[in-house]
């Protein structure tokens, strides 16, 4: 009788398999473990608020199947959360670059105030004098002027920091005070309202969202982009004979990416216009809409701005020389200079970009409240810095990701809106929780970095 030889190969393979299935999974899919941690934290926060509202306060809960208007995980609440995240998220992407190069920008909230105020005055009091009220070009001129102002202020900060050698902490602390004061002086503390009606769409709201069809188009384009990226990435690796990801891992990434995108589309499409808006819309367009007509919000325009900014900034950081230089300066400023990088010029550009992004946030914020006030963006700098840091940006420099900062913003805003929802919205508790979470998040990150070393 001949017996088959023992399957030696199996044991060899299983030894190759490494320490744990999870580690192997992370290795094969090449997912950033920190991303898994952040998504996990976000889900815990969401589920926690939903269950707390149900079990402690006796309200509705989506998870327990008793959803009503007061639950946390409703399309309405999550849609509002996405709009609230836009302003902080947009700025957090820029703060990543600032912090990666071992700088800080404390002035972004005040830049919101001054650019928002300038845009308010321009579109409400100045342009209508020359163009007439409600002229079609008012919103465009306003937006361009606001962005230009943000760029100039940021570039000025960058120039003081890079070419005059004043520490960024001091320059932007000064900026925090100066620009906030300017925002007040510009209109003697008045609130400027109402903003141009087209401009107001940039802030979200039922009309400032792209509706069901538009959201499906955006979602399908997003899925196509995910698949295209995976395919071209694989092709590029094959071309240079690098190790390929296992096919199942590629498929998994495609599934997760497309699943998240389509899930978001379903969510924002599940949030209908309120009855009053439907009726007003019907009247304005001369249609007779039956009682209970379901019109989806779809993605809000500020959220699309955030997504667009996030994609562009990711591209900037990972695919351009500028992004490479930002990381190099953060890792070793001296080495970057010796490699022929004009570190001062790069620093100036980073702060100018931060100013531009702050003006984007000013557009979103003032459009959302349909007015401009000198208090806009107050304390935003702290949330923005916290978002970047919670998102894994290292204050020691050299490390940070755009998607991390956006997730960080989402985590912070989830905490904030959840605290309001469960009745701790008066500010003091919010501050206590936020402060604790910030320190805890950074501590966990430090622990994580120690273990991977």
Partner 1 sequence: MTTNGTPLVELRNISISFGGIKAVDHVTVDLYPGEVVGLLGHNGAGKSTLIKCLSGAYQKDGGDILINGEIVDIQNPRDARAQNIETIYQTLALADNLDAASNLFLGRELVTAMGFVDDSKMEAETRKIMARLNPNFRKFSVPVSALSGGQRQSVAIARAVYFNARILIMDEPTAALGPQETNMVSELIQELKAQGLGIFLIEHDIHNVMKLCDRASVMKNGQLVGTVNVNDVTDEEILGMIILGKKPARAA
DSSP label at residue 202: G
**Phi, psi angles (nearest 5°) of residue 222:** -60, -45
136 binds partner 1 (CB under 8 A): no
8 A C-beta contact, residue 63 and residue 51:
yes
CB of 31 to partner 1, least distance (A): 15
**Phi, psi angles (nearest 5°) of residue 356:** -60, -45
Partners of 192 in beta bridges: 372
CA angle 133, 182, 381 (to 5 degrees): 100
312 binds partner 1 (CB under 8 A): no
CB of 403 to partner 1, least distance (A): 18
Cis peptide before 25 (omega within 30 of 0): no
399 binds partner 1 (CB under 8 A): yes
Kindly tell me which residue out of 327, 360, 383, 403 binds partner 1, with binding defined by CB under 8 A. Answer: 327
8 A C-beta contact, residue 302 and residue 208:
yes
Q: Which CB, 336 or 363, lies closer to partner 1? A: 336
Kindly tell me which residue out of 341, 362, 413, 419 binds partner 1, with binding defined by CB under 8 A. Answer: 341
55, 129, 297, 365 from 195: Cα distances, Å: 43, 14, 22, 11
CB of 398 to partner 1, least distance (A): 4
Window contacting partner 1 (CB under 8 A); options: 74-82, 285-293, 323-331, 430-438: 323-331
Kindly tell me which residue out of 334, 428, 447, 451 binds partner 1, with binding defined by CB under 8 A. Answer: 334
**Phi, psi angles (nearest 5°) of residue 268:** -70, -25
Give the number of other CB atoms < 10 A from CB of residue 12.
10
Q: Which CB, 78 or 328, lies closer to partner 1? A: 328
Q: Which CB, 332 or 436, lies closer to partner 1? A: 332
CB of 442 to partner 1, least distance (A): 18
CB of 332 to partner 1, least distance (A): 5
CA angle 312, 314, 318 (to 5 degrees): 120
CB of 327 to partner 1, least distance (A): 6
Give the number of other CB atoms < 10 A from CB of residue 82.
22
Window contacting partner 1 (CB under 8 A); options: 56-64, 71-79, 185-193, 313-321: 313-321
24 binds partner 1 (CB under 8 A): no
Q: Which CB, 69 or 340, lies closer to partner 1? A: 340
Nearest one of 262, 256, 258 to 215, comparing CA atoms: 262
* Residues 6 or more apart whose Cβ sits within 8 Å of residue 152: 355
Cis peptide before 194 (omega within 30 of 0): yes
27 binds partner 1 (CB under 8 A): no
Angle between helices 211-239 and 247-269 (to 10 degrees): 170
Partners of 209 in beta bridges: 300
CB of 30 to partner 1, least distance (A): 10
336 binds partner 1 (CB under 8 A): yes
79 binds partner 1 (CB under 8 A): no
324 binds partner 1 (CB under 8 A): yes
CA atoms within 13 A on the CB side of 97: 28
8 A C-beta contact, residue 268 and residue 296:
yes
Distance of CA 23 to the CA centre of its chain: 28
Query: Per-residue x/- mask for partner 1, residues 200 to 239, rule CB under 8 A?
Result: ------------------------------------xx-x
Partners of 372 in beta bridges: 192
242 binds partner 1 (CB under 8 A): yes
340 binds partner 1 (CB under 8 A): yes
Q: Which CB, 283 or 321, lies closer to partner 1? A: 321
Kindly tell me which residue out of 332, 345, 379, 446 binds partner 1, with binding defined by CB under 8 A. Answer: 332
d(CA 374, CA 187): 8
8 binds partner 1 (CB under 8 A): no
Partners of 27 in beta bridges: none
How many residues contact partner 1, by CB under 8 A?
Answer: 27
DSSP label at residue 19: S
Window contacting partner 1 (CB under 8 A); options: 246-254, 291-299, 316-324, 409-417: 316-324
Q: Which residues bind partner 1 (CB under 8 A)?
A: 236-237, 239-242, 319-321, 323-325, 327-328, 330-332, 334-341, 398-399
């Amino acid at each position: 009788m001949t017996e088959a030889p023992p399957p030696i190969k199996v044991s060899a393979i299983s030894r190759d398999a490494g320490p744990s299935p999870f580690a192997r999974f992370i290795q094969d899919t090449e997912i950033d473990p920190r991303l898994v941690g952040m998504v996990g934290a976000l889900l815990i926060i969401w589920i926690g608020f939903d269950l707390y509202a149900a079990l402690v306060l006796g309200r509705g809960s989506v998870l327990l199947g008793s959803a009503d208007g007061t639950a946390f995980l409703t399309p309405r609440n999550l849609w509002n959360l996405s709009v609230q995240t836009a302003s902080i998220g947009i700025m957090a992407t820029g703060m990543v670059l600032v912090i990666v190069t071992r700088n800080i920008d404390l002035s972004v909230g005040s830049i919101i105030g001054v650019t928002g105020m300038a845009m308010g005055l321009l579109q409400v009091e100045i342009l209508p004098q020359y163009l007439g009220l409600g002229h079609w070009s008012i919103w465009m001129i306003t937006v361009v002027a606001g962005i230009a102002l943000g760029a100039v202020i940021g570039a000025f900060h960058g120039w003081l920091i890079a070419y005059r050698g004043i520490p960024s902490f001091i320059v932007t602390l000064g900026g925090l005070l100066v620009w906030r004061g300017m925002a007040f002086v510009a209109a003697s503390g008045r609130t400027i309202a109402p903003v141009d009606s087209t401009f107001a769409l940039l802030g979200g709201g039922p009309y400032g969202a792209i509706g069901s069809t538009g959201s499906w188009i955006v979602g399908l384009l997003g899925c196509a982009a995910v698949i295209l990226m995976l395919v071209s990435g694989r092709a590029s690796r094959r071309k240079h004979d690098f190790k390929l990801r296992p096919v199942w891992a590629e498929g998994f990434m495609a599934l997760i990416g497309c699943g998240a995108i389509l899930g978001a589309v379903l969510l924002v499409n599940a949030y209908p216009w309120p009855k009053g808006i439907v009726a007003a819309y019907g009247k304005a367009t001369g249609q007779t809409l039956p009682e209970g007509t379901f019109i989806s919000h779809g993605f809000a325009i500020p959220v699309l701005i955030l997504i667009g900014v996030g994609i562009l900034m990711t591209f900037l950081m990972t695919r351009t020389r500028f992004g490479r230089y930002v990381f190099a300066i953060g890792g070793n400023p001296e080495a970057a200079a010796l490699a022929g990088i004009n570190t001062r010029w790069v620093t100036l550009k980073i702060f100018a970009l931060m100013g531009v992004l702050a003006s984007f946030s000013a557009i979103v914020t003032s459009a959302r409240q349909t007015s401009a006030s000198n208090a806009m963006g107050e304390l935003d700098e702290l949330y923005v810095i916290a978002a970047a840091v919670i998102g894994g940006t290292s204050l020691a420099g050299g490390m940070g990701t755009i998607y991390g900062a956006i997730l960080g913003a989402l985590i912070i805003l989830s905490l904030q809106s959840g605290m309001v929802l469960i009745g701790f919205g008066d500010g003091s508790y919010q501050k206590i929780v936020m402060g604790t979470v910030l320190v805890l998040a950074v501590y966990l990150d430090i622990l994580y970095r120690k273990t991977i070393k």
